[in-house]
Structure 1
């Protein structure tokens, strides 16, 4: 299968990474990390009606992917009829205008494909997994975002695209399954022995997401439990308010235009290990939200915006202090009168 590629980032970064990886080289910059996303899977959706099919299901405008100057990938969500999130995805265009690759949570892959097939009806659409052909990887640097501009290349084997949500989450790579970590690094940077570090528990992609308050997958975005704007889909370039109708569109549009949103996903820092009780409370005992994912001393939670960010309350989990940060990638002009209620 032919897929789109982007190698400008690799050329721009090759010299800097080579210098940082040479024995004895002094580098104050944090190294790039290359990590296989074992909890993510790729689904191929193919057919002459693939664009109108996806347009009626996802929050974003899929037609932009077919435009010559459009993005190579986009973030989107699938909603239920009540406007709540079922699945999150990154949609990748390919060199075939009738074929898209959809990245999903591996744990929910079967349910995701079943959801797609349920709405296929009489459309000539093929839906199947490509886990035996391609696997997703991520290349990231905790200290600075990727610097990539879209550019196509006919170099074989890889699809390379900046994360469409926020630059700090790095670069997505879709690689053939036969490329393990050593082979992939040699393919990306020829004639360079060490080009990026492997991830470890103290420096993983999961921790990177938690530091930026981005939820991903059915464990952190439980199906039917939150609205797309609570999951920051509007801030993460994951929803279009100008496209036509899609499942769950009515409530999403109404909430957006009313500006009434009480809760959002935010990054959290813990002073002690999180137990089985994930409820975030104030010192006075008021329920302010819930932790949806955690690792090390970091996590992501769905929390009430006004008392958490605009109040003076101390936050606790099981009596232990925790802290919430306002994500740096949130728009700077977020107004207090938009932080009210989604019920």
Structure 2
């Protein structure tokens, strides 16, 4: 198996640089098009957003922890704890079906200051999926001693908060810390570090519908001001983070293809849970050939796009393809799909991409289909039966995704050939650090 090697054109970019850099050359919109665009403004470097697209389910009872343990990819217990204590922190996770496909992506939070004999957990998921998720939980409840309830509107609020200038590339917070949460000083707030991308921020659950500042007035706890949900969505897509079943397609998406391994949403050491078999087998023996990546949408003949991160331009006149549209090579005969477009805002989006076709990543020694000059497109027909529309797109591999895949390739080589992947991974990281240092001095 051939070790994946970084492209010579790769440059280190941290999450703080996502809104910087040169814009992709997209077709300049007319004034009419600009005025008709309703795209949200770019996200600030520090801020918070009320996530009205997310809902909550309460799971309360003596069996609540063991019940959830058998249904989700994350471990509800502190790893290697002989007392099998329940986690003290919230975490990212997923509910799978029996075939290992994702039903719902979710966050699970322990509710502070509840009876330890009857703990309460809050399950945060796509708001549109709350009724079906509740049915899913009730179907597996059987004789478990617990109560399930969907929270009413305004009973609690879900927030995302971030401050790029102060957060590390990877959240350093220990998910198994003995403290109740990163917000332990605020007993009425449940929360956790959002581990889906480096420095991505925090997730918080507050009582009632008041503004987040009512509960966390200290600027050290929450920075910036409130922004609209659309700006949070833009930030999420710039980081390559899919969310909800419009992007993580229900009963179709696989956990590893959805980057849940990289996002620390799966505990590969825990006991049995629904859908575990395929997930574990893929992790230990398989190769993940497709992953969700951020994509840059553009039109025209701009073939040489050199930006290393997607750049959001709310004024770019680029049509958004329907979710689930197939991605194809420009100028090639109809052949194998290069991936599927999942959703977007303006000139950025997310897509499930074949890595060895749309990126320079090499996974095996079977060769790669990647051609740096090859462009990709999505074509679709309008609902009114008009002319077919088309938009081009370029897949972007975030630095942290590249590092994660590289480390996985190194481990596979070590298992199959007895090579020491540690030295190679260390050398690669040293190279990235050197390039980062050079970039800062430019």
Conserved in 1, the CA contact under 8 Å of 2:104 and 2:244? yes
Q: Equivalents in 1 of 2:292, 2:215: separation in Å?
A: 37
- Is structure 2 residue 301 aligned with structure 1 residue 274? no
The size of the alignment, in residue pairs, is 305
Q: Does 1:164 align with 2:181?
A: no
Post-superposition CA distance 1:15-66 (Å, at most 9, x none): xxxxxxxxxxxxxxx5411110000011111111112211111111111399
TM-score by length of 2: 0.63
Which residue is 1:234 aligned to?
Answer: 261
How far apart, in 2, do the equivalents of 1:305 and 1:243 lie? Answer: 29
Report Cα offsets for 1:66-99 as digits up to 9, x if no partner. 9779551111111111111101111111233421
Residue 276 of structure 1 deviates from its aligned partner by 3.3
Secondary structure of the residue aligned to 2:338 is strand
Within the candidate set 78, 81, 85, 1:64 is matched to 78
Larger radius of gyration: 2
Deviation at 1:172, TM superposition (A): 1.1
Range moving further from structure 2, 314-323 or 80-89? 314-323
1:80 aligns with 2:97: yes
* Paired position in structure 2 for 1:335: 409
Q: Is the 8 A contact 2:193 2:201 kept in 1?
A: yes
1:185–1:195 contact (8 Å) kept in structure 2: no
SS at match of 1:205: helix
> Cα gap change, 1:79/1:195 in structure 2, threshold over 3 Å: closer, same or farther?
closer
CA-based RMSD: 2.8
Residue 307 in 1 paired to residue 376 in 2? no
Relative to structure 1, the CA distance from residue 166 to residue 39 in structure 2 (aligned partners, 3 Å threshold; closer, same or farther) is same
> Does the 8 Å contact 1:83/1:227 carry over to 2?
yes
- For residues 187-206 of structure 1, what are the structure 2 equivalents within 5 Å? 187-190=215-218, 196-200=224-228, 204-206=231-233
Give the unaligned 5+ runs of structure 2.
Answer: 1-43, 299-317, 361-369, 380-389, 413-442
Give the direction of change, closer, same or farther, for the CA distance of 1:337–1:302 in structure 2 (3 Å limit).
Answer: farther
Q: Is contact 2:91–2:192 with CA below 8 Å preserved after alignment?
A: no
The Cα of 1:296 is off from its aligned counterpart by 1.7
Matched, 1:43 2:57: yes
Q: TM-score, normalised by structure 1?
A: 0.80
2:393 equivalent in structure 1: 322
Report the structure, 1 or 2, having the larger strand content: 1
Structure 1 alignment gaps of length 5 or more? 1-29, 339-343
The residue matched to 1:168 in structure 2 has which SS? coil
